[in-house]
Structure 1
Amino acid sequence: MEQEAEELKKDISELEILIKQAERQKVKDILSIELRRLGSKHANLLESLKKEESTSSSTPIIQTNRKYRVKLNNYAWDQSQKYVKFFFTVEGVHNIPSENITCSFTSKSLELDIKDLNEKDYFFTINKLLYTIDPESSTWKVKTDMVVISAVKVDSLTWSHVTEIEKKNSDAKAKKYDFDESDPNDSLKTLMRRLYDEGDDEMKRSIVKACTGQNKEKSLDL
């Protein structure tokens, strides 16, 4: 959900640029409608994220022998030239025996397990990491109310996302508003055509009127 909110923020920024580039008022009005729609969606996502954070950073999903197995939902990550680091906030984790905390690695995945913390077992798994890591060199460390995982990069590539699927989804969304600063008029035309294809009859009529005037569909190739 955090990734979706970030992508929406980027979409909104590019739409604002397109509105400034548009010359016809009707085109600006149509782009403004799309901007308001995305702005509302972004605000709702941020509100949902706040509610999740205020409720809990974890969700119990399985109960066995009076002990819950809990999936850790929230984490932060950062990177350097050598490492990709993951930060998990788990209250009281520093108070349990070190052998209760383990992390396993493969070249494209990692899994954290925390046993017997306040009658709960915690876990977290990431599969299909964006790039390859070195399982033998990767480590983890327990700090006050936190576990830090240091995954060692095989190369020094900069990670734009954590997983392959996040990168794929981000690229797909970026194509929706592929803005070419060298040719803003072409970018506006491409965006208007997409809005025409996805819009209802009223939206299509408005776009045709705004973009093509009397020539209508011939100019926009709709």
Structure 2
Amino acid sequence: MESKLSELRLDAKELKTVLESVSRPKVKDLLTLDLRKLETDIIQIEDALKSSQSSSSSSGPKSVGIVPNSLSVKAYDVQIKNYSWEDAEETVKIYIMNLKDVTSLSKPGDILCEFTKNSVHLRINNLGGKNHVFTLKETSELIDPEKSSYKLKSDMVILTLAKAGSTESGRS
């Protein structure tokens, strides 16, 4: 896992170098998004390494996280890493697919979505025995949490991120 971490760091470093030489805005946006994904992967691997090192070195009692009431059924967390997105003038839509029967979830707390001015966190609890988690730790532009939303389709969730400073009415 440490070799994968070093490879990801090298990839991120090279991507930053390429990003500095790019002048086209669309290409910059694409490269910035890929860089953010790499940085997210690096952080996740670092966290996993830290937790595995601390759990193997500590012989005392282990802390247990608080489980929400909606998770009475045993399920494990799965990070969502495959998604697609669409960038429009006023919004960015993120399509999280392959979530069979996501519309069947109806209890409060089954789907938790939190928008901040520069991040998104989606948690789908107990779908097919798994808790699906999507986190975008830092967006490339500021978003408006109040205007942002999510929609459920039969096998996908669509996150709509409203760009900060954009108007609701659109073009005339």
Calculate the TM-score normalised by the size of structure 2: 0.51
- Find the counterpart in structure 2 of residue 80 from structure 1: 88
Unmatched segments (≥5 aa) in structure 2: 1-7, 19-66, 68-72, 167-172
Higher relative contact order (CA 8 A, sep 6+): 2
Deviation at 1:67, TM superposition (A): 1.5
- The structure with the largest alpha-carbon Rg is 1
Match of 1:105 in 2: 115
Query: Hey, what's the Cα distance between the residues in 2 that align with 1:76 and 1:95?
Result: 23
Kindly state the Cα deviation for residue 155 of structure 1 after the two structures are TM-superposed.
3.7
The verdict on how the C-alpha distance between 1:153 and 1:98 changes in structure 2, with shifts beyond 3 A counting, is farther
CA offsets per residue over residues 146-203 of structure 1, 9 Å max, x none? 00000000146xxxxxxxxxxxxxxxxxxxxxxxxxxxxxxxxxxxxxxxxxxxxxxx
1:91 equivalenced with 2:114 (yes/no): no
- 1:102 Cα deviation after fit: 2.0
CA shift digits 1:1-37 (9 cap, x unpaired)? 9xx7xx99xx8xxxxxxxxxxxxxxxxxxxxxxxxxx
After superposition, where does 1:191-210 map in structure 2 within 5 Å?
none
Q: CA RMSD in A?
A: 2.4
Q: Quote the offset at 1:98 in angstroms.
A: 6.1
Percent identity reads: 34
Q: Partner amino acid for 1:94?
A: T
Q: Which residue of 2 aligns with 1:16?
A: none
The answer for the alignment partner of 1:153 in structure 2 is 163
Q: Give the number of equivalent residue pairs.
A: 98
Letter in 2 for 1:81: E
Aligned to 1:71: 79
1:135 alignment partner in structure 2: 145
Match of 1:117 among 127, 144, 151: 127
**TM superposition outliers: structure 1 runs of 4+ over 4 Å:** none
Structure number with higher helix proportion = 1
Secondary structure of the 2:123 match is strand
Compared CA separation, residues 81 and 98, structure 1 to 2 (3 A): farther
Q: Is the partner of 1:94 in helix, strand or coil?
A: helix
Residue type at the aligned position of 2:163? K
